[in-house]
Amino acid sequence: MKKAIVFDLDGTLLNTLEDLCDSTNFALEKCGFPKRSLGEVRRFVGNGIRKLIERAVPETAEEPAITECYEIFCEHYKGNMENKTAEYEGISDMLDALYQAGYKMAIVTNKADFAAQALCSRLFGKYVHTVVGSVDARPNKPAPDGVYYALEQMGVKKSEAVFVGDSEVDIETAKNAEMDAIGVLWGFRDTADLQKAGVKMTVKDTKELKNLLLSLKNR
């Protein structure tokens, strides 16, 4: 029987792609670099903002230009992270059902902690009380450190929790944390990416995810 769920954020609960793309291109343009398409940014996200910028700049870019671009992104994103970002269809209804069923829930994301805390508090604060964003003192996913911290805060064992995410980074994180994983098919990666990562359970929409999680609660 499962008692807790650890969710990824970007591509799982929230569609943040357009705001991330807009801030990336703002920073790239400010630094004199060519802009990137939405499809390119989709492939760049997943390992945190710094890695996003490192992937977005030209291969010939060097320090300190990369750091400058990263800092411009962070400053711009603070005022841009809620312009086009929205939860995926059915997310709030699903979280409400899981909360009513007695699940403890956490969000562990490679999104910068300042952004994760602001977005999750406003959108999901009623249901999710543990939010773990990216900070310098803790390695990002796929390292399991953030997940372990979340489990400790919720007071549950890894065997009592399941990880839900949309990318190969999330599946690898679950493996490293020795947890069961569910891959969602509406996010920033396609089915082939998740299958290559070795995911065993996938869902096509939030209704299917809700029903699967409720069944795990009652086993």
Angle at CA of residue 153, ends 147 and 155, nearest 5°: 100
Residue 201 DSSP SS3:
strand
Asked if 55 and 21 count as a contact pair (C-beta separation under 8 A), the reply is no
Q: Tell me the Ramachandran region of residue 56: left when phi exceeds 0, alpha when psi lies from -120 to 50, beta otherwise.
A: alpha
Domains 4-15+86-218 and 17-78 share a fold: no
Q: Note the pLDDT of residue 94.
A: 98
Report domain extents, the chain.
Answer: 4-15+86-218, 17-78
Output the pLDDT for position 218: 75
CATH code for residues 4-15+86-218: 3.40.50.1000
What does the CA dihedral 105, 111, 113, 115 come to, rounded to 10 degrees? -100
Residue linked to tokens 């269809």: 89
What's this model's pTM, rounded to 2 decimal places?
0.95
Give the pLDDT confidence score for residue 137 in this predicted structure.
94
* Residue 5: predicted pLDDT: 98
17-78 has which CATH code? 1.10.150.240
Segments of the chain scoring below 50 in pLDDT: none
In order of 19, 27, 120, 173, the CA distances from 81 in angstroms are 6, 14, 12, 25
